[in-house]
Amino acid sequence: MPHPLSTLGIAHTAISLVPLVAGLGSLAIDRRIEPRTTAGRVYVAGLVASVLTSFGLSSTGGFNPGHALGLLALLALAAAWFVPRIEALGRARDYLATLAMSFSFFLLLVPGINETLTRLPPSQPIADGPMSAIVKGTLAAWFLLFLAGATLQVMALRARRRADVA
């Protein structure tokens, strides 16, 4: 039987849905998570709240890989915020900022995929732990989807840049 969710676990799960929905909406509309839009601002606030609430959760009783991924997601957000201000990066700024936001979205779902597959359905979860073949396969597919999306984002930015020059 899976571990039951605590009150904080339930709140964290609900909070974590906010950046998921906002990020998907922003990707669908803008083809990237644009922090200057409403959806982008909601995504950033939701991701920060999700990471902060995750620090109160731990099935191991201490710092765990999910916490490390949360910190890495916050670093990606910080990079996406500061990279556009670094003039020395030139034309790479927009690419790096976009990819940093997308990487934060990728990281948001890594623990979510593991937790979902190891907890649902409650009576007989799909996976028996994070090292399960189904979890590993799903994470591999998620990584490939991230790479494909990042490639499409770079191509879209390049096309936009060429159109602006023409």
138-162 per-position pLDDT tens digit: 999 999 999 999 999 999 999 988 8
Range of the domain at 107: 7-165
**pLDDT single digits (tens) 59-88:** 667 788 889 999 999 999 999 999 999 999
Question: What does the radius of gyration of the chain's CA atoms come to, in whole angstroms?
Answer: 17
- Structurally, the chain folds into a number of domains equal to 1
In a domain, 1, yes or no: no
pTM (2 d.p.): 0.90
In a domain, 119, yes or no: yes
What pLDDT is stored for residue 66 in this prediction?
Answer: 86
In a domain, 136, yes or no: yes
In a domain, 28, yes or no: yes
In a domain, 156, yes or no: yes
In a domain, 2, yes or no: no
In a domain, 122, yes or no: yes
Q: What is the distance of C-alpha 32 from the center of its chain?
A: 12
Q: What's the chain's average pLDDT?
A: 92
Supply angle C-alpha 89, 91, 93, rounded to 5. 55
